[in-house]
Amino acid sequence: MFRRKMRTALCVVGVVLATTFIVAAGATTMRYTTVIKEISVLFNGQVMVVSNGTIVIQAVPIGGGMLPQNLTDSKIRSIVGVEETVPILFLTPIGIGGALQAVPVNFSIGIPVDSWSCIIGPTPLREGVGHFPSNASSSEVVAGASLADEHGWTVGTKIVVNGYQLEVVGILDTKLALLNRCVLMPLELAQKVYNYPESVNVITAKPSSGCSEKGLADMIEGNVTYVNALTEDERNDMIQPVLSQMETWNLGLEAAIFLLSLILVMTVTTMSVSERRRDFATLDAIGAPLSYVLKIVIVEASLIGVLSGALGLVSGSLGALILASVFTNIPLTQFFPSIFEIVPPLYMVEMFLSVVLVCCLGGAVPAVNAARTRIAEVLRAEY
């Protein structure tokens, strides 16, 4: 390995770059997929009612129009099979120039004060400090932990949203990405702040006992012509093709890059073996077993894999954090505490072992060729 230091270094750099790309792209894709799948937990077992033309990604409404709150809610409640409804104003941020962000990361959610648990479940507040707003007309809000940490919000902090001064009265303690990046407020307050009086863009309907989600969704669409009622399965079906394509693309990239790494290691190892034919023939002549030469070459290739894998994991993990920061506009420092959520330890181990295995395979063919070297021919040519 050290006889041709430059060649070995270039080989290591090549495999490190390949590993970096695989880890960064793979971990980012996995995290994005996980976050999207997590969203459905908030509306598990409920029918999601939105206006016609609205695109729903799991549970996030994109585009579409608003629903008249009282009229739509009363129509849905009158349907047999509806146990409970919750009107929600679910808003994603607007980017520069008034364009919707490609990857929304901040959310404002307006929920009736008596229905918090219907959406966020038993999610607690950080360190048990603060409380959920109890007055529908108050100016109190609850913020996600990630959003609060980014802006330095604590319980009692005054914030300004669309010209309205609001008070943070609690910080959510949760691992769900959507709740970590949201501001929860009473529905009436959200409608006033964002100028959507008596309007919502989502109404959740919980089926009563004995009524299926599909059956309830069909009844809602039959009775309220201007809405689209989506079951949990339908929401999953809408995004599943996209997630499948992302995973297939990611696997294809990994296979192609691993193949290039295999060829690189094989080429470098072949050159190294070719230059040491005399050494290997001499070892064979003095009685060294053929397996000894085989082990030497395999160990050298393995060392390249171990070194490249370790360096590639470090740089790839940093690359994944940078990609997450660039696509979400969240400061890079916010991601360091959650590095093992973005790049799971199991994924790190899998990538490390894969790199070592690829390098071992890259050294296997040259190693076999070296072990089959004919002593007489080599010694005659070299000496």
* pTM of structure: 0.73
Token pair of 263, please? Answer: 């060829």
Q: Is residue 339, in this structure, part of any structural domain at all?
A: yes
Q: Both 196 and 259 in a single domain?
A: no
The DSSP output letter for 137 is T
Question: 197 CB contacts (<8 Å, ≥6 apart)?
Answer: 191
Adjacent-strand bridge partners of 84 = 206
Q: Both 247 and 127 in a single domain?
A: no
Token pair of 180, please? Answer: 């970590």
Q: Is residue 272, in this structure, part of any structural domain at all?
A: yes
Domain finish residue from 169, 198, 225: 225
Q: Is residue 257, in this structure, part of any structural domain at all?
A: yes
Stretch 181-185: mean pLDDT: 91
Confidence of residue 381 (pLDDT cuts 50, 70, 90): low
pLDDT at residue 122, rounded to an integer = 84
Q: Both 334 and 204 in a single domain?
A: no
- Label residue 215 exposed, middle or buried (CB < 10 Å: 0-12, 13-18, 19+): middle
Token pair of 360, please? Answer: 């071992």
Q: Both 255 and 221 in a single domain?
A: no
pLDDT at residue 269, rounded to an integer = 80
pLDDT at 138 over 90: no
Q: What is the span of the domain harbouring residue 89?
A: 53-225
Q: Both 76 and 112 in a single domain?
A: yes
Domain finish residue from 201, 225, 249: 225
Number of structural domains (the chain) is 2
pLDDT at residue 110, rounded to an integer = 93
Q: Helix axis angle, 5-39 relative to 290-328, nearest 10°?
A: 50
Q: Are 89 and 200 in contact (CB under 8 A)?
A: yes
Q: Both 60 and 206 in a single domain?
A: yes
Predicted confidence (pLDDT) per residue in 70-95, tens digit: 999 999 999 988 999 999 998 875 43
Q: Both 178 and 60 in a single domain?
A: yes
Q: Both 165 and 277 in a single domain?
A: no
Token pair of 161, please? Answer: 């949203």
Q: What is the DSSP string of 13-74?
A: HHHHHHHHHHHHHHHHHHHHHHHHHHHGGGGTT-EEEEETT-EEETTEEES---EEHHHHHH
Q: Is residue 42, in this structure, part of any structural domain at all?
A: no
Q: Both 134 and 27 in a single domain?
A: no
Q: Both 245 and 182 in a single domain?
A: no
Q: Both 260 and 329 in a single domain?
A: yes
The rounded percent of the chain whose pLDDT value lies above 90 is 36
Residue at token pair 């009158």: 78
Phi then psi dihedrals of residue 108, to 5 deg: -115, 130
Minimal CA–CA distance to 112: which of 200, 170, 187?
A: 187
Q: Is residue 140, in this structure, part of any structural domain at all?
A: yes
Q: Both 164 and 83 in a single domain?
A: yes
Domain finish residue from 225, 259, 279: 225
Q: Is residue 232, in this structure, part of any structural domain at all?
A: no
Q: Are 169 and 133 in contact (CB under 8 A)?
A: yes
